[in-house]
A and B are shown apart, each in its own frame.
Chain A
């Protein structure tokens, strides 16, 4: 786990010099939602970024747009890499805006079906 974190940090550092980082761009929530669905992010990460067996949870409270860009350009795990030609930085900024707009779920104590499953 520690090794994977270090590798990821190294990847992030190696890409931070790229121009037009997503964090410098203004994302659009609705456009981001559409891209998230159209390009198929939702298949593994869920339509509201909730994650699952095939993909990590992305929302609520997503990592920064730059982190997401870095991750998808050179993913360290099983996710396919997406170059800027495949998914540009503006699209990443839009996706980030969409993920940031997703509200957290109610606490477990307010969901009876899950409360009964908690240890």
Chain B
């Protein structure tokens, strides 16, 4: 076991404090004399007539040091906590500092040597948690954050909600001071909370507030284990400041160990039934959303699709299926669903939305877009983790068969069952379907490339052109794509780029909470860094303005990534909502931009102010390619860069 620092007599501390008081007195005296003349010329003199003199009691309290043995301590609870933490092999801990975890902060730095985890400095707790979100989806395991009492958790809440909706594991350590008699007057009271995790409990997978170090050890291991069991989720362990800072008397308490449970697989009988339905179908369709975590998962999905020669619709909660595979019919989701007789939804967040639409009109109504008798099969783990208050669980799907289990874990068994269920006599029909889908796929790709040519030389630069230029940059590299929800990019990367590795795209925010793009991309780029991947972040302007400090963290910790600003100057989706309301009231459209337009922000200067290499704003499409290549050299050298592209809306 790692030993804490040796207990030493704190003579230096005492001398330092006295020296500080002496220095303060000198500085105070100087302040009374030197700047007076200058002050008198520029502003009224509001200083008190006589200097404030501490009372006798105050002076005694300030100058009489406490007993030496209470000034320093040896091994404290926070050192033990760091030792427990190291068992989890967590690489990074993103945080904004806060006094409620000062004990842990110092122990991570000095006792833990700031390694595994290494602390990453953030300028907002929302950034810290969103970084954890982006990292976990790439690395397949959590990173950690520390949140300061009531204030840090509230700052972090939106990012926690995104992680909850996206079912992503995050280890969060909250700080708190439970014993009210131990709180310093003022801020420490305002920052303390009786039940810290209650603020965000509706969207946590689990939380606890251990009251002893042994309890902490078991709690941290349980938290990690739960976070890493599908359905994944963020967990919070609240650490009391007294528990962190109090010395350990005698021997350390026992330390727990963690074993990540095997993920839950779907019922085999259900999988066999699903396989039979798919094998008998005339037009089976596979819909995947938050399914694939690994390349093995993507390969299995390809195997399933090719066994059936069925179209696949990727809803891009993750990158589930190679974009250029001829069975990828995502761009034709409407007609494919309309023709289906059996639809299997693999880790689909909203299966109801796969086969229904709801119209955004005065009197809203829904209609089924699939055939009335089309069968819907659901395979997902979501049913194992549903809370009541927040409604991210979507509309009740009315499925014909629901199998509860982790999709990626169950997939090999489903493939095996389908291979057995498909009769040999069907193979000719399957091959005919494959040939037809190949032809349709080729036509669709031709159509999409043609569509990308419209507005090619426009300024603001078309979103399609931006992505064609970026593809030309990355096509020969080991690249990855991150960013805000890709609907804002009209899904051009997924339409134009050859994506075939599971890590090349990890989906959106989950909760559609704006402010996710920049910090989650920094976290993702951090995870990609050790693999040497070239990370491209397509960054929406409104999203960046929620958490611009994420750029600074990327600079400060040398996280290479190419940020491409989608600078469209407004909140276009919300703009359209106000347009809809104005049109509905026949009130004209003159005012609808108010509240929806971002002022002309110079994002290159914003990035430069934080030490990031940046070019822009770029309005001429002919200048984009050369700018991208210049910025790419910076990224390849290990630094982040930003290109501000004045772009079309979507």
Contact = CB atoms under 8 A, between A and B. Distances in A.
Interface stretch (B200-208, B538-546, B585-593): B585-593
B457 A105 contact: yes
Interface stretch (A9-17, A21-29, A39-47, A62-70): A39-47
Interface residues of A, number: 39
B629 to A, nearest CB: 13
Given A39-B589, A86-B588, A46 B335 contact: no
Contacts of A114: 449, 452-453, 456, 468
A86 B449 CA distance: 35
B69 interface: no
Contacts of B490: 52-54
A56 B91 CA distance: 46
Nearest to B457: A105
A46 B487 CA distance: 15
B471 to A, nearest CB: 7
Contacts of A40: 575-576, 579, 589, 592-593
Interface stretch (B28-36, B247-255, B307-315, B458-466): B458-466
B650 A86 contact: no
A44 B648 CA distance: 9
Given A117-B496, A119-B446, A57 B451 contact: yes
Most buried by A among B441, B442, B452, B572: B452
B102 interface: no
Contacts of B576: 40, 43-44, 54, 80
B451 A42 contact: no
A51 B469 contact: no
B336 to A, nearest CB: 12
Contacts of B468: 113-114, 117
Contact of B458 (A47, A80, A85, A108): A47
B650 A52 contact: yes
A43 B587 CA distance: 19
B446 A47 contact: no
A106 B472 CA distance: 19
B611 interface: no
A87 interface: yes
A105 B450 CA distance: 9
Contacts of B359: 78
Nearest to A115: B449
B434 interface: no
B454 A51 contact: yes
B524 to A, nearest CB: 23
B455 A1 contact: no
A114 to B, nearest CB: 5
B360 interface: yes
Contacts of B420: none
A46 B451 contact: no
Contacts of A105: 453-457
Contact of B583 (A50, A86, A106, A108): A86
B453 A111 contact: yes
A46 B462 contact: yes
B443 to A, nearest CB: 9
A107 B456 CA distance: 11
Given A47-B455, A48-B454, A117 B589 contact: no
B90 interface: no
Interface of A: 1, 38-40, 42-44, 46-55, 57, 59-60, 78, 80-83, 85-87, 105-108, 111, 113-114, 116-119
20 contacts: A39-B579, A43-B649, A43-B650, A50-B451, A50-B455, A51-B454, A52-B649, A53-B491, A55-B650, A78-B359, A80-B579, A81-B583, A82-B589, A86-B583, A106-B453, A108-B453, A111-B456, A113-B471, A114-B468, A119-B445
Given A38-B589, A39-B592, A85-B587, 13 more contacts: A46-B648, A47-B455, A50-B455, A50-B462, A52-B464, A52-B490, A53-B489, A54-B572, A80-B576, A80-B580, A108-B453, A114-B468, A118-B446
**Closest A-B pairs by Cβ, 8 of them:** A50-B455, A53-B490, A50-B454, A80-B580, A85-B586, A52-B490, A39-B589, A43-B649
